[in-house]
Structure 1
Amino acid sequence: MKRLKWLHFALAACLVLALSACGSGGSGKSDSQTQNNNQTGSSDSEAPSGDSAPKGKTELVFWSPFSGPDGPFMKKIVDAYNEQSDSYQVKFQIQPSGDYYKLLDNAFGTKKNMPDLMIMHLDAIPTYARKDLLQPMDDLAAKAGITKEDYVEAAVNYATIDGKWWGIPLDIHPLIMYYNKDLFAAAGIEHPPTNREEFLEAAKKLTDPSKGQWGFVMPTLWPQQFIFPSLIYQQGSDLVDAEGNPNLNSPEAVDALAFLKSLIFEHKVSPENVAQDGEVKLFLQGKNAIQFNGPWMKDQWDKAGINYGVAPVPVFFDQPGVFGGSHTFVVPKAQTDAAKLEGIGDFLKYVAGHSLDWAESGQAVASKQVLASPEFQQLTQQQTEVAKEFDYVHFAPPIPDWGSIVGELWTQVNLTLLGKAEPQKALDEAQKKALQAAEAKKQ
């Protein structure tokens, strides 16, 4: 969860992320974000769940980047599985989220300490599949009785490349809206905004510079990697064209960035020159009424005792649309042990039916069985509101090394929101650099 994660957007490379607070608390970033800087990295920090496999049990080493408050939720699932399994023992190892892909690349490169199963951010799959480092999950899933129909379509479709299924989803973490209920009540606002008109009306009522109070504090860095693309999707456009080439200076992208800038300099519902995590700090202080961020923020808000609500991101343009990330289960191509592969399938089948504990971390899981369960419906408002966005969530373009291609984009978005660049010129520069980077990748 640390700092420059995306220029990935990873997600840029969710590749960046996002995702999901799989890192530590406090920065307003998720491991989904760290993911995005990702794909390189290495340290030996780990938190195994359980001792060595008891006699007669096959041990499965499972890596994850859940080094934040979400880690204990996954450990609970693993411990429950180990307790009920007579044949397999999952050894759960948490790697630091900021170094996760460096550690993973080191394991791939040295072929030492390789996990049998690992969590990978969905938008990293195209890169690792292209490098021939993963194995398709189709046979493993079929033998375990797992089908694509068991999971939310958006994540399954993204992870299906060249007709093969490369990653089984755990969750989806889209951009969502948090709002301060006390500030809304004081301003006489009865419900969260659902469109541009309602958002502007509410934000203006909630803004009082004399009190240092703002309707919406505009982040100029992370999580713009989730916010800016969401407004492009709401116009029916994308960050790539039909041929998969960067499309960063489209009319829709310019309109999206111009709108974000207008909230600061025209509508003045946000302060200027917001530093990294400034919007988070002000939300914690009760001075920021509306916050766009990811499900991973839940633990931080809860611990701070904020009286907050959760709602889908308003439709600012023509249609609903949000950027999101996803944690998926993948298996290294090098893992060919039949007993271990059978055990991995058994564990994933168990997770699909018992991931309510993961949902309790604030995530909305990708398992349709859990989503439809009465237990999930009885969770807090957050998880059910997040799940509402699954029908229109978008992920980073499924292009290998996408994060490195769009690194300049986030620099230009930052400059624009600081008032140092105009949207069209900034995005023209981002497009130029992206085309150069994409061409270099082909050589």
Structure 2
Amino acid sequence: MKKWLIMLLTVMLGLLGLAGCSNGETTSGDAKDDKVEITYGVWGKAQVPVINDVIKLFNEKHPNIKVKVELTPYGQYFQKLETAATGGAMPDVLWMNGPHIAQYAEGKVIIPLNDLIKKDNYSLDNYPKSLVDLYTVDGKVYGIPKDFDTTGLFYNKKIFDEAGIPYPDDTWDWNKLKEVAEKLTNKDKGIWGFGAMMENQGGYYDLIWQNGGHILSKDGKQVGFDTPEAIEALKYNISFIKEGLSPTLAQMTETAASELFISGKLAMKLDGSYMVPDYRVNPDIDVTIPPKGKNRAVSIHGLSNVIAANTKHKDAAWTFVKFLGSKEVAEEFAKSGVVIPAYNGSQDMWLKSVPNMNLQVFIDALEYSNPLPSVKSTGEIWQYETDVLKKAWAGEESVEDAVKELSKKANEALSKN
């Protein structure tokens, strides 16, 4: 009987040992002598070349970990993730943005990194606190900051020169923007003075903040789209289309506003620093500080690298995420000019990446920036914005009626948080 009990205890202890190995701290395929392959989900095509260079650097230090990049256009990215999460097929490491972090964290689709950070004594002081806070949900850190972006007023110097008009500067306000847009609009040449895009980040969010309005109440229970300040800001944006100073929504859907701008069909447009890689191909394009409304304000956002909860290679994924968050990688992205790296001290190198553009305006914008709202239902609200506001942009519905419908739907979504 004693011998039988000893054998039984031995088997039970063995099973407990196996269970301990399957708790996610040490996963299959992560042994030092084994080769593993992890996937890296991203959506920025312009960043793929530098990502591939970064992976080469990573493999010099970690030859046993192969990284496969999975590129998905942003328009399909989160839809694809939802399907992948349901089927347990998420990329091991992936990009995450602020508007979706709460949803994916609370849904346990991605893992908190606190224990891993503590185990390796990994410092988060290397990144702006606002970005670390953005990816912290209920006191747990879910993402290591990768980059950040703010807004500037891009303009075509050639169009200004031909019209004999001085370039925009920090003295401009909303009235000046409209005045110059009128002068630069030339129907004979097919040139519009301004591109009034229907985009929240780098678009109507910025204008609402500049007009003293808000996107989300401080308690996170109501949106501010139906306030007088927001309505006035939206009307100002759409007025460029109504007055023929901007392409219509249909025209900017048929041919992206960015393409119209690069080809010299738009004189000016508000946009984020993430568009620098696209716009630098035209040497006539430069950027300056956005015009001021009642306040000077722009949006700020940034991406982070997160780890999927269903990864079979947690240790390898964390090793890769740590490397992605290093100064070495930040400098690679800075030299490429594709994004402003989040790692403190690496931004100066980014400023030199495109010497013919005044990129300093994006760094200066940190002083008057507003973080994009991040709640569990942000993604749902963004979809409502797209579905409803396009009626106002297309002239099918008044701004007042559109924001009334939008606010009702958005507030219902917030009530479920």
Bin for the TM-score computed over the shorter chain? 0.7 to 0.9
CA–CA separation in structure 1 for the residues paired with 2:385 and 2:83: 28
Q: Determine if the alignment matches structure 1 residue 207 to structure 2 residue 182.
A: no
SS of match in other structure, 1:243:
coil
Cα offset, 1:62, TM superposition: 3.8
Q: CA 1:364–1:165 in 2, change beyond 3 Å: closer, same or farther?
A: same
Q: CA 1:400–1:338 in 2, change beyond 3 Å: closer, same or farther?
A: closer
Structure 2 residue corresponding to 1:376, chosen from 350, 357, 362? 350
Q: Is the 8 A contact 1:225 1:410 kept in 2?
A: no
In terms of Rg, which structure is larger?
2
Structure 2 residue corresponding to 1:249, chosen from 218, 223, 226? 226
Cα offset, 1:127, TM superposition: 0.5
Q: How many residues align?
A: 380
Q: Is the 8 A contact 2:150 2:301 kept in 1?
A: yes
Q: CA 1:408–1:54 in 2, change beyond 3 Å: closer, same or farther?
A: closer
SS of match in other structure, 2:45:
coil
Cα offset, 1:188, TM superposition: 2.7
Cross-structure match for 1:29:
none
Structure 2 residue corresponding to 1:293, chosen from 263, 271, 291? 271
Q: CA 1:341–1:145 in 2, change beyond 3 Å: closer, same or farther?
A: farther
Structure 2 residue corresponding to 1:75, chosen from 40, 52, 55? 52
1:40-189 paired onto structure 2 within 5 Å? 56=33, 59=36, 61-66=38-43, 68-83=45-60, 85-86=61-62, 89-97=65-73, 98-112=75-89, 114-189=90-165
Cross-structure match for 1:400:
376
The CA deviation string for residues 197-239 of structure 1, in whole angstroms up to 9 with x for no partner, is 43233223212233322211323x4x35541111112234322
Higher mean C-alpha deviation, range 427-436 or range 143-152? 143-152
Q: CA 1:87–1:417 in 2, change beyond 3 Å: closer, same or farther?
A: closer
Task: Please tell me the residue identity of whatever aligns with 1:187.
Answer: A
Q: CA 1:310–1:408 in 2, change beyond 3 Å: closer, same or farther?
A: same
Q: CA 1:119–1:58 in 2, change beyond 3 Å: closer, same or farther?
A: farther
Higher mean C-alpha deviation, range 382-391 or range 159-168? 382-391
Q: Is the 8 A contact 1:57 1:86 kept in 2?
A: no
Cross-structure match for 1:14:
none
Q: CA 1:379–1:299 in 2, change beyond 3 Å: closer, same or farther?
A: closer
Q: Determine if the alignment matches structure 1 residue 353 to structure 2 residue 328.
A: yes
SS of match in other structure, 1:367:
coil
Cα offset, 1:81, TM superposition: 2.0
Q: Is the 8 A contact 2:213 2:224 kept in 1?
A: no
SS of match in other structure, 1:61:
strand
Cross-structure match for 1:198:
176
CA–CA separation in structure 1 for the residues paired with 2:287 and 2:121: 35
The CA deviation string for residues 97-121 of structure 1, in whole angstroms up to 9 with x for no partner, is 2443344334433334x44322212
CA–CA separation in structure 2 for the residues paired with 1:106 and 1:82: 30
CA–CA separation in structure 2 for the residues paired with 1:78 and 1:428: 48
Structure 1 residue corresponding to 2:405, chosen from 410, 429, 438? 429
Q: CA 1:379–1:283 in 2, change beyond 3 Å: closer, same or farther?
A: same
Q: CA 1:392–1:75 in 2, change beyond 3 Å: closer, same or farther?
A: farther
Cα offset, 1:76, TM superposition: 0.8
Q: CA 1:184–1:118 in 2, change beyond 3 Å: closer, same or farther?
A: same
Q: CA 1:139–1:385 in 2, change beyond 3 Å: closer, same or farther?
A: farther
Cα offset, 1:130, TM superposition: 1.1
Alpha-carbon RMSD:
3.0
Cross-structure match for 2:238:
261
Cα offset, 1:182, TM superposition: 0.6
Structure 1: where are the runs of 5+ without partners? 1-51
TM-score, normalised on structure 2?
0.80
Cα offset, 1:170, TM superposition: 0.7
Task: Please tell me the residue identity of whatever aligns with 1:116.
Answer: D
Q: Is the 8 A contact 2:337 2:353 kept in 1?
A: no
Task: Please tell me the residue identity of whatever aligns with 2:196.
Answer: M
CA–CA separation in structure 2 for the residues paired with 1:390 and 1:88: 40
Cα offset, 1:67, TM superposition: 5.4
CA–CA separation in structure 1 for the residues paired with 2:294 and 2:278: 32
Task: Please tell me the residue identity of whatever aligns with 1:168.
Answer: I
1:313-328 paired onto structure 2 within 5 Å? 313-315=290-292, 317-328=293-304
Cα offset, 1:307, TM superposition: 1.3
Cα offset, 1:274, TM superposition: 4.6
Q: Is the 8 A contact 1:169 1:326 kept in 2?
A: yes
TM-score, normalised on structure 1?
0.76
Q: Is the 8 A contact 2:181 2:194 kept in 1?
A: yes
Identical residues among aligned pairs (%): 24
Cross-structure match for 1:331:
307
Cα offset, 1:58, TM superposition: 5.6
Structure 2: where are the runs of 5+ without partners? 1-28
Q: Is the 8 A contact 2:93 2:308 kept in 1?
A: yes
SS of match in other structure, 1:216:
coil
Cross-structure match for 2:258:
280
Cα offset, 1:406, TM superposition: 4.3
Task: Please tell me the residue identity of whatever aligns with 2:45.
Answer: G
Task: Please tell me the residue identity of whatever aligns with 2:215.
Answer: L
Q: CA 1:290–1:357 in 2, change beyond 3 Å: closer, same or farther?
A: same
SS of match in other structure, 1:148:
coil
The CA deviation string for residues 166-215 of structure 1, in whole angstroms up to 9 with x for no partner, is 21111113333211011112223333243224323322321223332221
Q: CA 1:122–1:62 in 2, change beyond 3 Å: closer, same or farther?
A: farther
